[in-house]
Amino acid sequence: MPGVSSRLAAYSQVVLFFGAFLLFWEYGVRYFEVKSYILPPISAIAVAVWEARSEIFENSMYTLAEVLIGFGAAVVVGVMLGMVVYVSPFAQRTIYPLVTALQTTPKSALAPLMIVWFGYGFISKVAMAFLFAFFPIVVATLGGFAGTAKNLEEHFRALNAGPWRTFTTLRLPSALPSFIDGCRVAMPLAMIGAIIGELVGSERGLGNLIMLGTASTRTDLVFGCIIVITLISLALYALIEFAAKSVWWRGIQV
Amino acid sequence: MVSTASAAAPQSVNVADMGLKMTAEPAANHIEARGLNKTFGSFKALEDIDFEIRNQEFVSVLGPSGCGKSTLLRIVAGLIPYESGSATIKGEAVRAPRPDVGVVFQTNNMLPWLTVRRNVELGARIRNMPAGARDAAVDKILDVLSLTKFADAHPHQLSGGMRQRASIGQALVLDPQILLMDEPFGALDALTRDKLNVELLRIWQESRKTVMLITHSIAEAVFLSDRVLVMADRPGKIVEEVTIDLPRPRNAATTRAMPKFGEYVAYLGKVMGVAN
């Protein structure tokens, strides 16, 4: 079975690389006598995470909820707006340029405003996650609908297909691959939005924990939070990748 | 909403008795154009087009690329409007696509996310054919086109020729009396094209639909047609009409070997050369 052995080789390369990286980190900081509030050894970070595990878990769930709700709202509103802009020339002339202009605004600059509007709690972070995830989803949805093959549209016209039938049978499935691409971009952005919101002003969440860790020079805890945030982002991205598998006709031209 | 309305139209055809219709022939020509003009902006695409295709007649429109023959087909299909003159199907002015007219385009119109079966039955679903009749019709079409084995495959798993066959199936599933074909084999290699010509001929000889075939292949036009209309470009107009007096049923081996077949091909080649 040559397939298995070559996969094993690829797998062991990955393990070796990351093993070497972690070892270098662990012994590098000791060898170069890096101060632990600058860069703690990886073992110290692991210990810090383990000791604060219940705190990290609770705050993770809080941040995860912000991200998922913000992302979900971005999908719902983004898809609806993408559809409206697609079907309405009026919206295409008015709303779409506005959306494009807003897209260029640095969303992180809006964080203080969100806190003024929605307070220090949960809602302002959901709003931040939403703002970050929203634009890529609108653009991708619109691109997906606009990319419907012209010959297929004509084919549906020749069959006297009504607008609803054309939408559900043709436009929706042909827009799905592009929409999924939008989600791929939007999901990590939603996490970034929520964390920025928490850093600017919050009472809970992993961003809040980072602020507390920084204030008390607990760099090990800060690193622990960063690693946990990265792992959650990776898991969410994997979820999107999994969903993308059901849209297998992406890139297939017949 | 539109699809419901069209499904209730009187032209809906019973697929079960495909090819066995014994109804009296209607008086009007199946397809007719009189003094038809079409411009795109300042570009005159079609000028003064006059022709008719009778019930169960197979007529090819032969012409070079860009002569407006596809535009002519789209007008007859009700897909684009025309300026002046008239285009009629069974004596009724063409205003929109009709359920008794099937259209096959040069690009196969397979939806990549549907299986071959679901693609072939698409028209039947859109026109709300009852499920029982639909399944029977699809089974029959897949069999006629030798696609039964590939019913559950997806389009990208098929060869170009098979996809184009399935495309023809998409039009045949509604058992239209009139079939409009816009260079259906134009994107295929010569061998596959010849094979599909034979298959199309066989299907037509069994079901005797009225066919308008757009092509730029002289041999294809001669082999399949009762009559050939030759078009010239700038502006697109019909410059010659040739009745193909070759015996039917035709078949690949004997028909193409007839001296008359060669004479028609040579003559049409000359006409095309002169006209353009």
Residue among A158, A164, A169 minimizing CB distance to B103: A158
Residue range(s) defining the domain that contains residue B272: 28-100+214-276
The β-bridge partners of B53 are B31
Asked if the Cβ–Cβ distance from A159 to B122 is below 8 Å, we say yes
CB atoms inside a 10 Å sphere around CB B201: 19
The yes/no answer to whether this complex scores an ipTM above 0.85 is no
What is the spatial distance between Cα A13 and Cα A16, in angstroms, rounded to a whole number?
Answer: 5
**Rounded to two decimals, what is the model's pTM?**
0.81
Complete edge-to-edge strand list for the sheet that includes strand B227-232: B101-104, B178-182, B210-215, B58-62, B227-232, B237-243
Asked if the Cβ–Cβ distance from A252 to B109 is below 8 Å, we say no
Q: Look-up: residue for tokens 């109804």?
A: B23
What is the spatial distance between Cα B12 and Cα A246, in angstroms, rounded to a whole number?
Answer: 36
Residue B157 lies inside a defined structural domain of this protein: no
Residue B79 lies inside a defined structural domain of this protein: yes
Architecture of domain A45-244: Orthogonal Bundle (1.10)
Asked if the Cβ–Cβ distance from B111 to A152 is below 8 Å, we say yes
Is B1 in the A-facing interface, judged by CB distances under 8 Å?
A: yes
Is pLDDT of B9 > 50? Answer: no
What is the spatial distance between Cα A112 and Cα B259, in angstroms, rounded to a whole number?
Answer: 88
Asked if the Cβ–Cβ distance from A160 to B127 is below 8 Å, we say yes
The CATH number assigned to the domain holding B270 equals 3.40.50.300
pLDDT at position B275, please?
A: 58
* Chain B contact set for A154 (CB, 8 A): 79, 105
Residue B259 lies inside a defined structural domain of this protein: yes
- Phi-psi map region of B131: left, alpha, beta (phi>0 left; psi -120 to 50 alpha): alpha
Residue B141 lies inside a defined structural domain of this protein: no
- Judged by DSSP in three states, B247 sits in coil
Residue B77 lies inside a defined structural domain of this protein: yes
Q: Which residue has the higher pLDDT, B234 or A67?
A: A67
* Chain B contact set for A144 (CB, 8 A): none
Asked if the Cβ–Cβ distance from A169 to B126 is below 8 Å, we say yes
A-contacting residues in B 45-104 (Cβ below 8 Å): 77-79, 96-99, 103
Nearest chain A CA: its distance from B8 CA (Å): 12
pLDDT at position A2, please?
A: 56
pLDDT at position A254, please?
A: 72
Q: How many domains does chain B have?
A: 1
* C-alpha Rg value of chain B to the nearest Å: 18
> What's the mean per-residue pLDDT of chain A?
93
- Using alpha carbons, list the distances in angstroms from residue B242 to A4, B35, B218, B222: 66, 20, 12, 9
Nearest chain B CA: its distance from A182 CA (Å): 20
Tell me which of A159, A171, A180, A245 to substitute to probe the interface with B (most B C-beta atoms closer than 10 Å): A159
pLDDT band at B18 (very low <50, low <70, confident <90, very high): very low
* Chain B contact set for A163 (CB, 8 A): 1-2
Per-residue pLDDT reduced to its tens digit, A148-169:
999 999 999 999 999 999 999 9
pLDDT at position B16, please?
A: 45
CB A151 within 8 A of CB B109: yes
* Chain B contact set for A173 (CB, 8 A): 111, 113
Residue B227 lies inside a defined structural domain of this protein: yes
Is pLDDT of B267 > 80? Answer: yes
Q: Please name the residue of chain B whose CA is at the shortest distance from the CA of residue A173.
A: B113
Closest CA to B141 of B206, B185, B47: B206
Per-residue pLDDT reduced to its tens digit, A92-117:
899 888 888 888 889 999 999 999 99
Per-residue pLDDT reduced to its tens digit, A71-82:
999 999 999 999
The β-bridge partners of A25 are none
* Chain A contact set for B6 (CB, 8 A): 160
Asked if the Cβ–Cβ distance from B2 to A249 is below 8 Å, we say no
Residues 6+ apart with CB under 8 A from B55: B25, B26, B29, B30, B177, B210
Residue B91 lies inside a defined structural domain of this protein: yes
CB B116 within 8 A of CB B147: yes
Tell me the mean pLDDT in the region B184-210: 88
Query: Residue B210 is which amino acid?
Result: T
> What's the mean per-residue pLDDT of chain B?
86
